[in-house]
Structure 1
């Protein structure tokens, strides 16, 4: 019987301790109720005053269509050189009131966000500012900077192709200019003037086919008909050269005649090559524009921040947490001072802390 009573007493002891602990907690909260209630209210009032004094923010968003090149777009938009370019053109240092390029770029990083929209897969370039018109202007200027640097830095495969063709065109223009000067020399010009219209047409047509074949990397299956015509024109040109040589040999100007015909053919070849390169370059430029599809940002008519209610709630919650924590800490310190053993321990800690 005694063992059963002892067992019952032992089984009830944790419950009693739990009840006492809970009551102790409630007692601590009750003793410091003024601070626990008053501090969150004061913090909320101060936060509300500050939050409602803040100006409204407006966010304008430029949207970039889904593309395999989205990582490249993101890199360009985050590049310091691109930011510096936009900052200078829009005088962002004056707008943000910053001194120094790094400080201006830091403010740009806060104002401009590039995010992948999970809903539609678009890349969103969002600009936030107190002025809704300026926010839209900044977002759209970032889009223009993306386009300029994307093509200028030749980051896309299609841009690299266009650049290669532009380099070939520069070389073709130099060569054409050289032969333009050559065929306009008096002796060659007078020799070329003796050619019939049919002969000149044959030479120019042959040069055009050669130019097309150069760009194709050889004659493709689609150019079989052109190949037959080129062979006929080549045969005609060969007869023209032979007949011309016979005619000019009697006059003693065979070399000049051959040089004049060759210069005319070279000039026609480079001219035809430039014309075809221009068409291909323009086509690639159109494809570049189609590759980067953007929807311009509109001027926002609704504010995006600040979230004043959230600021007030977070401030009140933080103050509540701090006041409760302070109550328990202060209560623990008070109890430790009542305990002689704890006082001795605190004294040793204080002495050790002050000692060198």
Structure 2
């Protein structure tokens, strides 16, 4: 029984110590109540004055549909060369009031954020600026730069194919221009005018088949039968044209006749090749548009920042935390001064700090 009574004080001791500790904390806070209450209010007032002096900001968003090429898109949009080109075209150094290319790119990086929207999977180009029209213009310019650079850098398979075809078209156009000039020569033009409609049709049909055969080179086995049929038709047309030349040519103009028919056939060939290349290029452009689907940014009509209420609240909470921290530090220093041993230790610390 006695043992039970003797254990009661030991069980209650921690509770008493906890009560004293809580009361001590409350006492410290009460001693510094002016600082703890006043500093957050002062910080909130200053933060409010600063926050409400800041200009409104607007965010325009261009959205890029989910794609397996999202990583490539992001690389292009954050590429320094691409950003430099946009900065020059839009004179961003003047807009951001920066000096030097790097400073302009840094300012552009702060204004433009490329993020993957986890909610819908879209790649968002967010542009924030004080001018809503400028924000939308820059966002759409970024989208256009992405579209152009995917082609110029040949980063997608369709872009590579389109580049190859457009290179071939440039060569074909040069050859066509050459034969267009030859066809304007008076002697050749007069000779070509003597051709019958059937001969003209045969020559142009032959050229079209040759052009199609050129583009179908290296195709799969599924096209081999069609190519064989076209080659047979080509041989037949060649015989018809040669027979017609023999009937109409005489000893004095055989060479000129051959030159005229050759120029007409070459002109028709390059013309047919260009026509077929254009169709394929347009198809690849459509494929590129299907791969890269964008929703253009609209001019925002609601501000996106600054978040003034949040600035005021964060400032007040930061000041409250610092004031409480300072209250406990000040109380600890005051208690240490009352302890002679602690005072001597503080003196040694001060002396060591001042020593060189």
Is the 2:165–2:277 Cα contact (8 Å) retained in structure 1? Answer: yes
Measured in 2, the distance between the counterparts of 1:188 and 1:265 equals 13
Change beyond 3 A, Cα 1:26–1:166: same
Measured in 1, the distance between the counterparts of 2:224 and 2:183 equals 30
Q: Deviations over 1:252-281 (max 9, x none)?
A: 987776676555544433332122112211
Measured in 2, the distance between the counterparts of 1:221 and 1:37 equals 85
Change beyond 3 A, Cα 1:135–1:344: same
Q: Deviations over 1:88-143 (max 9, x none)?
A: 23222222222222222222111122222233222222221222222222222222
Please, what TM-score do these two structures have when normalized by structure 1? 0.86
Measured in 1, the distance between the counterparts of 2:62 and 2:27 equals 57
Measured in 1, the distance between the counterparts of 2:248 and 2:330 equals 120
Measured in 2, the distance between the counterparts of 1:252 and 1:94 equals 73
Change beyond 3 A, Cα 1:294–1:233: closer
Measured in 2, the distance between the counterparts of 1:351 and 1:282 equals 83
Write the mapping of 1:255-334 to structure 2, written as runs, cut at 5 A.
Answer: 264-334=264-334
Is the 2:151–2:163 Cα contact (8 Å) retained in structure 1? Answer: no
Measured in 2, the distance between the counterparts of 1:102 and 1:247 equals 74
Is the 1:96–1:104 Cα contact (8 Å) retained in structure 2? Answer: yes
Is 1:144 matched up with 2:138?
A: no
Q: Deviations over 1:145-186 (max 9, x none)?
A: 222223232222211111000111222234444555667777
* 1:13, distance to aligned residue in structure 2 (A): 2.2
Greater shift after overlay, 310-319 or 279-288? Answer: 279-288
Change beyond 3 A, Cα 1:287–1:29: same
Measured in 2, the distance between the counterparts of 1:355 and 1:258 equals 107
Residue aligned with 1:61, SS: strand
Which residue does the alignment assign to 1:21? 21
Which residue does the alignment assign to 2:117? 117
Greater shift after overlay, 224-233 or 64-73? Answer: 224-233
Tell me the number of residue pairs that the alignment of Structure 1 and Structure 2 aligns.
355
Is the 1:113–1:126 Cα contact (8 Å) retained in structure 2? Answer: yes
* 1:10, distance to aligned residue in structure 2 (A): 2.5
Change beyond 3 A, Cα 1:2–1:269: same
Change beyond 3 A, Cα 1:238–1:64: same
Change beyond 3 A, Cα 1:234–1:200: farther
Is the 1:245–1:257 Cα contact (8 Å) retained in structure 2? Answer: no
Which residue does the alignment assign to 1:99? 99
Measured in 1, the distance between the counterparts of 2:158 and 2:50 equals 52
Measured in 2, the distance between the counterparts of 1:54 and 1:185 equals 74
Which residue does the alignment assign to 1:63? 63
* Structure 2 unaligned spans of 5+: none
Which residue does the alignment assign to 1:238? 239
Q: CA RMSD in A?
A: 3.1
Measured in 1, the distance between the counterparts of 2:71 and 2:86 equals 20
Greater shift after overlay, 17-26 or 79-88? Answer: 79-88
Is the 2:65–2:294 Cα contact (8 Å) retained in structure 1? Answer: yes
Is the 1:241–1:258 Cα contact (8 Å) retained in structure 2? Answer: no
Change beyond 3 A, Cα 1:86–1:184: closer
Change beyond 3 A, Cα 1:260–1:315: same
* 1:218, distance to aligned residue in structure 2 (A): 5.6
Please, what TM-score do these two structures have when normalized by structure 2? 0.86
Which residue does the alignment assign to 1:90? 90
Is 1:161 matched up with 2:164?
A: no
* 1:2, distance to aligned residue in structure 2 (A): 5.8
Write the mapping of 1:126-145 to structure 2, written as runs, cut at 5 A.
Answer: 126-145=126-145
Q: Deviations over 1:175-217 (max 9, x none)?
A: 4445556677778777766655434432331221121122122
Measured in 2, the distance between the counterparts of 1:106 and 1:166 equals 36
Greater shift after overlay, 333-342 or 223-232? Answer: 223-232
Residue aligned with 2:215, SS: helix
Greater shift after overlay, 188-197 or 13-22? Answer: 188-197
Q: Deviations over 1:287-342 (max 9, x none)?
A: 32333222222222221111111111111100000000000011111111111111
Measured in 1, the distance between the counterparts of 2:237 and 2:206 equals 10
Change beyond 3 A, Cα 1:140–1:187: closer
